[in-house]
């Protein structure tokens, strides 16, 4: 809820994470997208993003929603997102680490 349009415009890349709530993203993140969509258009095209989600049964639905919304913003998908059931295992954490590296590399390009 604290994230602002200025945060979005000022960052080089962005990682969006959410719990799966009712096969959708959290209301707080949706609120951020709602507040920033129109005023950011034309200024965030091609900004690299990565997505991660957790859910009682996997988080894939939330991940799909994130990809769809990021497509509307015209962000550039830097790497395939991560969906996890509950707390992440060491293997999932390693995958998240890799996602972060790929997101950072997308900025350098
Ligand atoms: C209101 C609400 C709706 C939820 N809906 C879903 C859902 O549709 N699918 C799902 O996989 N998990 C659902 N969950 C589970 C959350 O995704 C899960 O609690 C969250 O990822 C955090 O994981 P944790 O409870 O293990 O900390 C829901 C949780 C809440 C509170």
All structural domains of the chain with their residue ranges? 5-108
- Ligand 1 atom nearest the C-alpha of 24 is 8
- Give the confidence band of 86 by pLDDT, cuts at 50, 70, 90: confident
Cα 24 to ligand 1 centre (Å): 10
Show the ligand 1 pocket: residues with CB < 6 angstroms.
Answer: 19-23, 54-58, 86
CA distance 62 to 84: 11
CATH placement of domain 5-108: 3.40.50.360
- At 72 the pLDDT is 98
pLDDT at 109 over 70: no
Which atom of ligand 1 is found nearest the CA of 19? 21
pLDDT tier at 17 (50, 70, 90 boundaries)? Answer: very high
The number of the ligand 1 atom at minimal distance from the alpha carbon of 53 is: 21
pTM of full prediction above 0.85: yes
Q: What is the 3-state secondary structure (H, E, C) of the chain?
A: CCCCHHHHHHCCCEEEEEECECCECCHHHHHHHHHHHHHHCCCCCCCEEEEEEEECCCCHHHHHHHHHHHHHHCCEECCCCEEEECCCCHHHHHHHHHHHHHHHHHHHC
Q: Is the model's pLDDT at 108 over the cut of 80? A: no
């Amino acid at each position: 809820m604290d994230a602002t349009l200025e945060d979005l415009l000022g960052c080089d890349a962005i990682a969006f994470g959410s719990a799966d709530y009712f096969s959708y993203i959290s209301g707080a993140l949706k609120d951020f997208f709602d507040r920033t969509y129109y005023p950011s258009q034309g200024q965030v095209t091609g900004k690299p993003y990565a997505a991660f989600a957790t859910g009682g049964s996997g988080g894939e639905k939330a991940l799909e929603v994130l990809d769809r919304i990021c497509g509307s913003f015209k962000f550039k998908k830097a790497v395939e997102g991560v969906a996890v059931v509950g707390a992440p295992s060491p293997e999932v954490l390693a995958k998240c680490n890799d996602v972060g590296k790929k997101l950072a590399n997308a900025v350098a390009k």
